[in-house]
Amino acid sequence: MSETEFFKALADPTRREVFERLADGEMNATELRQGFEMSQPAMSQHLAVLRSAGLIAEQKLGRNVIYRINPDGVAQIHQWLSRYHAFWPKRVDELKRLLKEMDQ
Amino acid sequence: MSETEFFKALADPTRREVFERLADGEMNATELRQGFEMSQPAMSQHLAVLRSAGLIAEQKLGRNVIYRINPDGVAQIHQWLSRYHAFWPKRVDELKRLLKEMDQ
DNA sequence: GAATCACATAAGTGTATGCTTATGTATTGA
DNA sequence: TCAATACATAAGCATACACTTATGTGATTC
């Protein structure tokens, strides 16, 4: 759950893609492995890194394990980045749009 | 300038602290090294990583090299994170405050 | 112009990382 | 109950990373 952990977790392209897939909806490990030319243990280890960093959460369901994004992890990155808001892009439009969406 | 590069760059605690220091204002390499028990080449290599990732910019000034945060790098992280705005913290207050600041 | 200063670069080393194959452990189905 | 499924864990290996000392390079100072 440390900053080092979640930056390290996201520093790997495979793990970022896994994270991106989970953003579209929850999946189990076998589904997540589709399209990756990688052994099952390799994916399992990647998932362990993401989970240990607090970026994803797991839920055992029978013999399957369902993974989904952990909003707390995203919130932590958001909080880290907010420290540098002085350097954020000056275009405010997108931020305004987001705010509108979140208010609903 | 790739996503992998900037996440790797920020995955190191020393480089995050350097980045944080530069957020308070520009500095040269010798000033940045103050407080770190680390050789000069080590710091130089860290700065090279941050620069290569597009997170900081350098400016030669005589025999000194002045470093500062590169807003483009911060913008890139911001853009990456914005893809997951569905998972952003639901508390909008801070975002509203930021928006106010940026509008001025 | 010779010494010093502020860096970068090179080469070497221990440790971390990402992968593999092999194996372990529940859970499910025949 | 016995085989198959869906994972996790262990051990081993090649590569990447963060550090060191040694050296190089250009700017300053005396």
How far away is chain B from the Cα of A14, in angstroms, using its nearest Cα?
Answer: 10
Q: What is the dihedral of CA A48, A51, A55, A57, to 10 degrees?
A: 130
- What integer pLDDT is reported at residue A104 of this predicted model? 46
Range(s) of the domain holding residue B15 = 3-103
CATH label of the domain that carries residue B27: 1.10.10.10
| Structure tokens belonging to residue A89 | 């892009």
| pTM for this model (two decimals) | 0.86
- Residue B85: which pLDDT band, with cuts at 50, 70 and 90? confident
What order of strands is seen across the sheet that includes strand A64-69? Answer: A27-28, A64-69, A56-61
- What integer pLDDT is reported at residue B1 of this predicted model? 73
Over residues B34-46, the mean pLDDT reads: 95
For chain A, 104 residues long, the average pLDDT of each consecutive 10-residue run is 93 97 94 93 97 96 95 90 82 58 52
- What integer pLDDT is reported at residue B93 of this predicted model? 56
Residue type, B93: D
| Structure tokens belonging to residue B7 | 């996440």
Strand D within 7 A of A28 CB: yes
Asked if the Cβ–Cβ distance from B87 to A23 is below 8 Å, we say: yes
Protein-to-nucleotide distance from the CA of A35 to the C1' of D4, whole angstroms: 23
> CA nearest A12: which of B21, B25, B8?
B8
Overall number of domains in chain B: 1
- The answer, yes or no, to whether residue B56 has pLDDT greater than 80, is yes
With a CB cutoff of 8 Å and minimum separation 6, the contacts of B11 are: A4, A7, A8, A11
